[in-house]
Structure 1
Amino acid sequence: MESTTFRIQREADVYVALSSGRRLATELQFSETDRTRIEICILELAHNLIRHAGGGEMTITVLRRDDQTAGIAIEARDNGPGIPDIELALQDGYSTTHSLGAGLPGVRRLMDDFHIQSTPGLGTTVRAVKWRTTRR
Structure 2
Amino acid sequence: MTIVAAVDRDERDSKAVKQGIALAEAFDEPLHVVHVISQSEFREIEQSSVDRSGKTVPMDEIRERAREEAEKVAAETAEAYEAKGLVGDPADEIIDYADRVEARYICVGGRRRSVVGKALFGSVTQDVLLGTERPVVTTMRDGDDA
Q: What is the TM-score when the length of structure 1 is the normalising length?
A: 0.29
Q: TM-score, normalising length from structure 2? A: 0.28
Flag the structure with higher helix content. 2
Rg (Cα) greater in structure: 2
Higher relative contact order (CA 8 A, sep 6+): 2
